[in-house]
Structures are given as structure tokens and as C-alpha cells.
Amino acid sequence: MESNQDNNRLAAVEAILADFALQMKASSAAFDMEMQKLRDAQAETSKQIGGIGNSQGKATTELFYNSLKYGQKKMFGEEFYDVFKEESRQTNKGFEDEYDILLFNGQAVCIVEVKYKADSNDVQQVLRKERTFRANFPEHNHKKLYLALASRSFHTKTEEACKKNGIAIMKQVGGTVVISDEHLKVF
């Protein structure tokens, strides 16, 4: 009799475990579906945030471009008459780069790197532009070259690094673009 009771108990436990396994499998599938929905939502949010960042960057470039194109033409002791934006070049030597704003006259060129919010890493990026520009635009190698970092917002250390490296600072102050070039050097 005890053997029958043990068998019945064992069968009941096995039935409970089988039912539990089915519930776990269903729960795991539901969890996996919810996690996929979460990953999809996160990817969409990241895409939207990236779009906002791109929009801010393009709006900032447009602000400085319009200021230079239709406003201040004399800076760095030079009169610039040609202003271009978003120029890309790649040479067969592998020097690929994008130049946010380029200013030209017969004797000088100025490369303006534009950032919505400038930080100290951007200074090295600006300095690299001098090397890639010389490779990508060899027809201008005989001209003076100036570098500038334009931004709506600067960290204090970023401004100090620009000054130390001879890079002009262009920033928005209210409705005006202010250019700080007293520390500027010719590259």
C-alpha cells in the first residue's frame, strides 16, 4: 500500500514539475518578447537622440556660416571673400576629412571646425585638420592657414587649449558671434 501511495505522490510531483516547466517556458517566451520590445524601443530612442544631435550640429554650423557669409568678413587681420560650408575631400593618399566652414582669400585660408558644445578633445581634431587640409587641397599649400573652433558653448579648459595652440575661438554670445583671435598663429 505504501508503494502505491509513493507512486501516486511521485506521479503528482512529476505532474506539478511538468506543469511548472510549461509555465516557465511560457514565461520565458513572454519575457523574451518583452525584452525584444524594450531593445526595439531603445534603438528607436537612440536614433531620435542622434537625430536631435545632428540637428543641433547642423543648426550651429548654419549659425556660424551665416555669420561669416553675411556678416563679419574681416578677421585674423585678413579680409575673407569666399565662405564655404561642409566640404569633404579624400585624396588617393587616404586623407579623408570634412571641413565645416572654409574661408578663402588670395593669401590665406581659415578652417573653422564647428561644435554645438566644444570640449578639449575637439582641439586635437582642429589641429589634425591642418594636416588633412594640406593633403586634400595642395593648391592652397603656399597660403597662410588659420584654424578656428566655433561653438555655442566652451568649457574653460577648451578655451585655454585653443589659446595655447594658436586656434581662434568663435562663440555665440547672445545674438552675436564673438571672435577671439589675439593668440592666433599661422599654421
- Report helix, strand or coil for 155: coil
Return the pLDDT at 114.
Answer: 95
pTM, two decimals, is 0.70
Does the pLDDT value for residue 27 go beyond 80?
A: no
CA-only gyration radius of the chain, Å: 30
Percentage of residues of the chain with pLDDT beyond 90: 29
User: What is the C-alpha to C-alpha distance for residues 134 and 145, in angstroms, rounded to an integer?
Assistant: 9
User: What is the C-alpha to C-alpha distance for residues 97 and 102, in angstroms, rounded to an integer?
Assistant: 13
Q: Band of the pLDDT at 92, cuts 50, 70, 90?
A: low
Torsion region of 174: left, alpha or beta (phi above 0 gives left; psi -120 to 50 gives alpha): left
Residue 30 lies in a domain: no
Task: List the one residue out of 43, 53, 68 whose CA is nearest residue 148.
Answer: 68
Does the pLDDT value for residue 88 go beyond 90?
A: no
Residue 21 lies in a domain: no
Residue 113 lies in a domain: yes
CATH at residue 126:
3.40.1350.10
Residue 97 lies in a domain: yes
Residue 173 CA neighbour count, 13 Å, CB half: 7
Residue 123 lies in a domain: yes
Q: Band of the pLDDT at 126, cuts 50, 70, 90?
A: very high
Residue 73 lies in a domain: yes
Residue 112 lies in a domain: yes
Return the pLDDT at 15.
Answer: 77
Residue 42 lies in a domain: no
Q: How many CB atoms lie within 10 A of CB 177?
A: 18
Domain range for residue 138? 62-180
Number of domains in the chain: 1
